[in-house]
Structures are given as C-alpha cells and as structure tokens.
DNA sequence: GCAGTAGGTTACTACGAGTAAGTTACTTGC
DNA sequence: GCAAGTAACTTACTCGTAGTAACCTACTGC
C-alpha cells in the first residue's frame, strides 16, 4: 500500500528542508493534475509516503500548501518574462518578447502553468490576494513596457492598457490550448497586431479623448497608489528546484 | 429557528415552478455573496425555508443549482450586449457599444455579474463546459463585430482578436472594481483606444505579415500607415451615464 | 545508554454534499 | 364527506475530506 516506502523501511526521516521540497514537488503535481478542490490532502500525503498531519505541520493548511506551490510558479513566470524582455532593443520588441515569453511559459512549464491557470479562482482571501498579486506583478511589468512606448500617456490609461493586455494574454493562452497548431510565436504576433498600432504614436483614442474623462481621472485620484512599486530588476535569486 | 416560516404554517407548499424560481433567486444571492465553495446547500435551504433534499429534488446537485443560476445570468448578459449593439451604425460604434454594454452590465446586474465573475473557474466538467460556453457566446458575438471591421482578415486572426478582446474586457471589468471612479464609458474608451487603431484598416501586423512565424519576431520594423482612414469623423456619443 | 527533540503516526472531530425512507397536505373520484 | 393517490416536504442518516490531539520513534549529543 505504501507508495514511497521503497525497499523496506530505508527511505524515511528527512530533514525539514528536504521534505518541504519533496512535498512541494508532489503537491504541485497533484494540484496540477486534479485541481485544487479534487486534490485530497490524504492523497498527497500517501504519494509522499507520509501521514497527513505532517503536511499540516509543514504548510499549515491545504490552502497554505497550494500557496507555496503558487509562489514557486509565480517566481518562475516572472523569471521567464523578465529574462526574455531583457534582450529587447525597442519598446515594441520588448512587449513582443514579453508576450512571447508568456506564451512559451505555458509550454515549457506545463505544471506551473496548469497551477496558475486552473487555481486562479479558488476561494480563500489569502489565495485571492496571492493570485491578484501575481497578476499585479504581470501588470506592473507590462506597465513598465508601456511607459517606454507611450511616455506621454496618462497614467490611468496606461494602467488600463496593461490590465487589458494581461487579460488578453490570459485568454489567448487558454485559447491556444484548444488550438495546438497556434505556436507561441503566432499568438504573440496576433496580439501585437491587435495592440501594436495603438502603441506606435497613435495612442490617443479612436474618437477624441474626452476631456471630461481625464478630469474625472484626476478628480478621483485620491485612492491611487504612487507609481513607485514598479521598476524592480529581475530577482535572480537562487533557484531551489528539488 | 425557521426563517421563511412566516405566520404559523401558512407559507408552505408551492408549485414546482414557483419554488424553482424562489430557490434560484436565493441561490444566486448566496453564491454571489459567499462564492460557490463557501456556499452551503444547508444554508441555501435554510434561507429558502426548505429542507436540503428539496434542492436536490429540483436541481440534482450543488453544481446543477449553480448551473441554473449561471444560465440565467448568461441570458441576461447576452440580452444586454446584443441590445446595445443593435442600435450602432458603424463597426467601430458597434464594438464600442458592445464593450460599453459589457462594462455597464457589471453595474446594472451586480449579482449576475458577481456570479459570472467569481464562479468562472469552479471545478466540474459540466460547469467548465457551461462557463466556456458563455465565453464562446461572447467570443462569437465579438467575432461578428470584427468581421465587419476587418472583412479581409484571416479567420484565425479574427478569432484570436476576439478571444483577446474578451480577455481584455474581463480583466478590465475586474480592474474597474478597484477603481470605482472609472466609469463604464471610460473603460470602453480606453479599450477602444487600445484596439481601435488595429481595427481601422490596419489589421495586418506590427511587422510584415510573414508566412513563417520565426521571422515575424525578428523584423519588428513597423511599416504602417497612420490609422483613421476609416468611416468615422466624429464621435457623437449618444449614450448617457447609466 | 540515556535525555532531548525533530520527525512521524494513529485515531479521532467537524462539517458539508448527497440520499433513503418516511410524513404531510393538497387534489381527485366517488 | 372521505378514501386513495400523489406532489411537496422532512428527518435522519452515510460518506468523504479538512483539520487536530495525543501519542510514538529514531537519531543527536553527551
């Protein structure tokens, strides 16, 4: 019955750090393949070859375990996208490379992507916060790119663009899963075709930008956060993959 | 203890159709305010003033109940968007009105929107199918619009555009929830500013429309003509604030 | 070899989805 | 009016899973 109990009772008792990594790996697997809800802690424990209370010892709760998995996936995603963008030479190229990296991420990190993709609407406030944090990471990343393309554009519009682009990315990544013949390159190209034109000088609007709109933005800007949270370099920290 | 047992035993025993509607209304409420997972069938039953097995009698399962709620919300959304689009006079206007209607939907049908927004990634294959169906509804709706703006565009690209736009819409609708000062009109305008230029005759690509995808990403030289040659001198926004 | 403790287990509780079998009140035929 | 029939409804369960209490064990240093 024991799964990870290979060759007698030899394989037991690891150090905390070791176990943590092992559990994370297996949990990622289980969450990715069965989904958060359907994944049972008992099942994860069994696959690890450990008893359930240990999972709680290490991660506090089911949500905590998922959270730890997501943290890893999030770091990977950020690394991929910022690495890709690092070598770009023009703002358009930058955006394109970022998009491309995003679409490639889904193929190169299937498991992490499955996590980010499927567990994006799990209940739990902390989880919501984390997921939203991941999106904000992508949004601010995108904002940074946009700021280069559209230096004179109103901050509000820039943020709106960034949000819209992230949303478009997510949706297209999902769409691609039903169309395997659409390569990451093609997806990125499509998206660039859609948003590129508006980033090349012509960012105003399809109609004239209503003056009342900008005024409204400024009037109600009390709740806005200062734009200092953005430009951080890619955190090239140690990559502890178990 | 009984909540809906007003004035003795008078208020009991309704016809199937009546109860169904009553249950649907309350379930929508509960799902919207607590989320699918956190919503307990016992709770819904209690609020209806009925015992749990009746819910199963009427809707088969928790998922079935949510499904019925979503069906309603979906119909509402389609009605709103298509009604809005009906009065448009140009393709751009059509798209704009559709977007606007979408953003307004979130305000005018808070409960339905909360359902569609939050329950979009619940497990369960049938649910997934339904949710995907709702999106496909929006996608095909958008495709139809695009077909008018971009009659010569490749079908694949059109679909990609539609998916991207739907994704952008969803994300921006979420974003708007943290920025109440952004009106539906402003949201629609931002989005039009982002995607409008590419719909105005210039739909090819930000690079040349290359046959092979590897080269696309390379030659990022944008040989584009300024957009705006299409059929829309002024923008007489005849929509007022909802 | 014995104390201390990190690492681990068994055996529970709590709670919520779903169900079997029984009960009540309204309708219909006489 | 009153039995029979049935649609609406209830009580009282089963079962699965998140989370926990309390106890056990093998390795450490001395």
Residue B131 has pLDDT above 90, yes or no: no
As a whole number, mean pLDDT of residues B68-87 equals 87
User: What's CA B44's distance to the chain center, in Å?
Assistant: 25
- B-chain CB neighbours of A122 within 8 Å are 37, 121
Residue A66 in contact with residue A127, Cβ under 8 Å?
yes
CB contact under 8 A, A206 and B237: no
Considering only CA atoms, name the residue closest to the C1' of nucleotide D10: B51
The C-alpha atoms of residue A47 and residue A27 are separated, in whole angstroms, by 9
Among A53-67, A105-119, B136-150, which stretch is predicted with the lowest mean pLDDT? Answer: B136-150
As a whole number, mean pLDDT of residues B12-23 equals 89
- Interface residue B75 vs chain A (CB under 8 A): no
| Interval A181-195: pLDDT, tens | 999 999 999 999 998
- B-chain CB neighbours of A146 within 8 Å are none
CA angle B118/B124/B130 to nearest 5° reads: 65
Diameter over CA atoms, chain A: 76
Q: Look up tokens 């979503």; give the residue.
A: B70
Which residues are within 8 A (CB) of B211 and not within 5 positions of it... i.e. 6 or more apart? none
The C-alpha atoms of residue B92 and residue B85 are separated, in whole angstroms, by 11
**Average pLDDT taken over every residue of chain A:** 77
Top mean pLDDT of A215-224, B10-19, B73-82 is at: B73-82
Q: Look up tokens 């009659």; give the residue.
A: B151
- pLDDT, greater one: A63 or B197: A63
pLDDT at B52: 96
Confidence of residue B121 (pLDDT cuts 50, 70, 90): low
Q: Look up tokens 């070859």; give the residue.
A: A49
Domains annotated for chain B, with CATH where assigned, are 70-203 (1.10.357.10)
pLDDT at A31: 93
Among A5-9, A110-114, B119-123, B191-195, which stretch is predicted with the lowest mean pLDDT? Answer: A5-9
Of A170, A194, A210, nearest to B198 by CB-CB distance is A194
- Give the A:B interface size as CB pairs under 8 Å: 196
Q: Which two tokens stand for residue A60?
A: 């506090």
Residue B116 in contact with residue B77, Cβ under 8 Å?
yes
Question: In the structure, how far is the CA atom of residue B223 from the C1' atom of nucleotide C4, in angstroms?
Answer: 75
Top mean pLDDT of A52-61, A74-83, A209-218, B83-92 is at: A52-61
- B-chain CB neighbours of A192 within 8 Å are 205-207
Cα–Cα nearest to A153, from A206, A92, A214: A214
Which residues are within 8 A (CB) of A240 and not within 5 positions of it... i.e. 6 or more apart? A21
As a whole number, mean pLDDT of residues A114-135 equals 74
The C-alpha atoms of residue A75 and residue B74 are separated, in whole angstroms, by 36
pLDDT at B120: 66
| Interval B192-203: pLDDT, tens | 999 888 877 544
Give how far A7 is from chain B: nearest CA, Å: 38
pLDDT at B51: 94
pLDDT at B1: 35
DSSP summary character for residue B208: -
Cα distances from A64 to residues A46, A53, A56, A209, A213, in angstroms, run 18, 14, 9, 46, 42
Q: Nearest chain A Cα to B185, which residue? A: A213
Which residues are within 8 A (CB) of A214 and not within 5 positions of it... i.e. 6 or more apart? A154, A156
Residue B37 in contact with residue A119, Cβ under 8 Å?
no
């Amino acid at each position: 019955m024991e799964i990870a109990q290979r060759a007698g009772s030899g394989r037991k008792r690891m150090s905390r750090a070791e176990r943590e990594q092992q559990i994370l790996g297996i949990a990622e697997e289980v969450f990715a393949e069965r989904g958060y809800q359907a994944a049972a802690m008992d099942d994860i424990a069994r696959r690890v070859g450990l008893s359930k209370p240990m999972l709680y010892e290490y991660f506090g709760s089911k949500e905590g375990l998922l959270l730890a998995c997501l943290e890893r996936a999030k770091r990977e995603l950020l690394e991929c996208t910022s690495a890709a963008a690092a070598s770009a030479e023009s703002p358009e190229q930058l955006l394109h490379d970022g998009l491309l990296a995003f679409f490639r991420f889904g193929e190169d990190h299937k498991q992490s992507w499955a996590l980010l993709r499927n567990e994006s609407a799990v209940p739990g406030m902390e989880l919501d916060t984390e997921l939203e944090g991941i999106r904000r990471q992508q949004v601010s990343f995108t904002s940074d790119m946009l700021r280069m393309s559209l230096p004179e554009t109103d901050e509000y519009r820039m943020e709106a663009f960034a949000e819209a682009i992230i949303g478009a990315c997510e949706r297209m990544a999902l769409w691609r899963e039903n169309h395997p013949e659409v390569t990451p390159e093609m997806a990125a190209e499509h998206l660039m075709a859609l948003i590129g034109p508006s980033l090349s000088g012509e960012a105003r609007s399809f109609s004239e930008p209503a003056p009342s709109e900008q005024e409204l933005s400024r009037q109600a800007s009390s709740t806005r956060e200062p734009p200092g949270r953005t430009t951080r370099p890619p955190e090239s920290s140690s990559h502890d993959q178990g």
